[in-house]
Amino acid sequence: MFIEDGSGLSTQDAINSAGLSELLYKMKKNGKYFDVYLNSLPEAGQSGTLKSHFKDPVFSSSMRAKSGSMLRIRSYAGYLTAKSAGSYIQHYSQ
């Protein structure tokens, strides 16, 4: 895995946001280091690169994600825990 710019969208990257989502899935499925890995990711609206994003209360304490950006684009891959139906692993670019 090689990430040149952090967004997963550079042609120099060896992983994109979909590939990062696959890594997130495998980390959760394996479980051995999942808690350590999850706690290393910023919390939506609270810390790190997500501090200014996803401030809606629906994300409070329910979303942790890896963010990345390049000129005019942002990308996220992470975990979202829904109140009604467990957890999801998702990637999103805008």
Q: Across all residues in the chain, what is the average pLDDT? A: 78
Q: Which tokens hold the place of 2?
A: 């090689």
At 3, the pLDDT band (50, 70, 90 cuts) reads low
Residues 6+ apart with CB under 8 A from 18: 91
User: Tens digit of pLDDT for each residue in 9-38?
Assistant: 666 766 667 777 888 888 888 888 889 988
Residue written as tokens 């990711």? 41
3-state SS class at 85: coil
Dihedrals φ, ψ of 30, to 5°?
Answer: -65, -45
Q: Are 90 and 72 in contact (CB under 8 A)?
A: no
Return the pLDDT at 43. 92
Q: Would the pTM count as exceeding 0.75?
A: no
Per-residue pLDDT, averaged over 70-92, amounts to 73
Per-residue pLDDT, averaged over 41-58, amounts to 88
